[in-house]
Structure 1
Amino acid sequence: MPGPVFAEGDSVALHTIEEEDLEFLQRGRNHPEIRRPLTDVDPRNGEQIREYFENSVSDDGDGFGFLICRSEDGEPVGAVHVPWIRTKHGSGMLMYWVLPEHWANGYVTEATELILDFAFEERRLAKVYALVVETNVGSQRVLEKLGFQREGVHRKETFVDGERLDSYRYGILADEWLDS
């Protein structure tokens, strides 16, 4: 069962990740329709998910992450994270996913808005960026809708399903987000 609500929107709420949520995270990270766009080609066993939880979520490190839960019933539908922060530079990398049966409901967009508010207003990051594989058009649309700018192309950097693909880097600055 997800932890307490950390931030709430109209259709989703961000909940803290608790130990009992690790099975849900493992199921999502191993789902073929999620792991391929995330370019996560290795299977994630329970120990690896626990290690991620201990090192990136529950320790005193700089990263942060939340479960995305539907507001109406608290059901977890995905996760949103800024797991890696370059503290000296004030930049963090954004990652998110939602189970395929919950796609096209606006959950990722709203959850990303909530985490960006936190990242820029409370954590005082100067920039948030994301890497998106070229075939993940839905994720590109989410980022562009939220005001991210495509900053560059990492040519043939990603290997997915036997094919080398470009990855696009998107970024948004704090003043761009806070002034919107």
Structure 2
Amino acid sequence: MRNIDYNNYFWQDEVIRLRAIQPEDWEGHYINRFDTPARRLLECAVELPPTVSEAKSFAENFSDFSSNRLVFTIENLNGENVGGINLNSIDERNGTFSIGIQIDRDYRGKGFGKRAVQILLKYAFFERRLNKFNDNVLEGNEASAAMLRNVGCIQEGVCRQVFYTNGRYYDSILFGLTKDEYVERYYKGSV
């Protein structure tokens, strides 16, 4: 295949690039399922042991953007897979959506997640005409809460004791960001 010129590519910034998940990405999904603390924070539960067939099925099922859950692989600009992100719970009628993200253990704390979320927010607000990003974070998931605040989300509330894991009930911390808030923060009215 010819070399691709990414200079004007929407799905990247100076550090990362989003691309469609491909069937061969199954291994990254599979390996991440062995990180129980991270998966508990993401899924609010302990998952059953991972299987190769589930990982392959996941990568295959989401490789063509044919569902209401748009799944991407996050790469650094050297082409290394650093995690995954998805746009989900898209409600076109009401203009709402959520984002799910997992950064591979070796790449956490380097800003890749924030950058990937920024790309999806820009897409959702300016290309899909969505108006409100909603997300929740399991009580104790300080890294995700900090990242959401860092991209401009406001803590909107707490649903008390709604997730049971690790022998106790946990709160769900609700965050939100409107398109107007996003524009004000990042574009200062220039859009």
Per the normalisation by structure 2, the TM-score is 0.82
Q: Structure 1 residues 51 and 152, CA, compared in 2 at 3 Å: closer, same or farther?
A: farther
Question: Map of 1:44-63 to 2, 5 A cutoff?
Answer: 44-53=50-59, 56=62, 58-63=64-69
Q: Equivalent pairs: percent with the same residue?
A: 27
* Counterpart for residue 23 of structure 1: 27
Please tell me whether residue 91 in structure 1 is matched to residue 104 in structure 2: no
* Counterpart for residue 139 of structure 1: 144
Please tell me whether residue 116 in structure 1 is matched to residue 121 in structure 2: yes
Q: 48, 67, 70: which one pairs with 2:76?
A: 70
2:69 and 2:90 in contact (8 A); partners too: yes
* Counterpart for residue 130 of structure 1: 135
For 1:98-133, what per-residue CA distance to the aligned partner results, in whole angstroms no more than 9, with x for missing partners? 112211111111111111111111112111111101
Classify the secondary structure of the residue corresponding to 2:149. Answer: helix
User: May I ask how many residue pairs the two structures share in their alignment?
Assistant: 176
* Counterpart for residue 162 of structure 1: 167
2:19 and 2:72 in contact (8 A); partners too: yes
Cα-Cα RMSD: 2.1
Gaps spanning 5+ residues in structure 1: where?
Answer: none
Residue 148 of structure 1 and its aligned partner are, at CA, apart by 0.5
Larger radius of gyration: 2
Q: Structure 1 residues 132 and 175, CA, compared in 2 at 3 Å: closer, same or farther?
A: same
The one-letter code matched in structure 2 to 1:65 is: V
Per the normalisation by structure 1, the TM-score is 0.87
Gaps spanning 5+ residues in structure 2: where?
Answer: 1-5, 186-191
Classify the secondary structure of the residue corresponding to 2:156. Answer: strand
Classify the secondary structure of the residue corresponding to 2:122. Answer: helix
